Amino acid sequence: MSESQQHTSGPESNGAPGSARYAMSGRGRLILAVTCATVWWLALVTMATVTSNPVTLNREQIDRATFVVGGTVQDLGRGIVSVKREWKQNKPLEQINVDNLAPAGAEAGEEYLMPLVQTDGESYHVVEVRVPGTLPVIYPLVPEASEQLQIILK
């Protein structure tokens, strides 16, 4: 075999002297692929966790409400809510009865923003969304919901 043939075959076949040290074994490629896939998967999980389920208020539901209350569900069975704030009329409410909290998916001890109408002197009702077959909608009482509410009420 001539000297020129020796330089054009084997790991240095690309013609660059010393390029054999950059050649990667099958195991090295597998490790690189697994590392890249793991980093990609972690990035996707992080994005999904950070951006999933943003609160979006229904403007039409808020407009139809007589009161918009932020409060804590004290007793789900009896519909008792301890009011922190009422935004629409700035009415001082302390504790109210909301008759359709359970169908709205409320949980005792949790804080919600609730668009309400008064049904009689003592009871309130979550304003229904005008989509056939849907349940009443309440929103978690988080800063994003309060900010959206302020924009809607302007």
- CA 71/CA 95 separation, integer angstroms: 9
To the nearest 5 percent, what fractions of the chain are helix, strand and coil? 35, 20, 40
- Answer yes or no: pTM beyond 0.75: no
Per-residue pLDDT of 86-132, as tens digits, reads: 999 988 899 999 999 999 999 999 999 999 999 987 899 999 998 88
pLDDT, greater one: 35 or 131? 35
> How confident is the model at residue 54, as a pLDDT?
79
Helix (H) or strand (E) holding 69: strand 67-75
- Categorize the per-residue pLDDT at 14 as very low, low, confident or very high, splitting at 50, 70 and 90: low
Mean pLDDT of the chain: 86
- CA 123/CA 58 separation, integer angstroms: 22
Query: Which letter does DSSP use for residue 94 in this model?
Result: S
- CA 112/CA 47 separation, integer angstroms: 25
Output the 3-class SS for 34-47.
Answer: HHHHHHHHHHHHHH
> How confident is the model at residue 98, as a pLDDT?
95
- CA 43/CA 40 separation, integer angstroms: 5
> Got the DSSP string for 10-60?
GGGTTS-TTGGGG---HHHHHHHHHHHHHHHHHHHHHHHHHHSS-----HH
Section 63-91 average pLDDT: 94
Residue 33, pLDDT above cutoff 90: yes
Residue 83, pLDDT above cutoff 50: yes
Tokens standing for residue 90: 């700035």
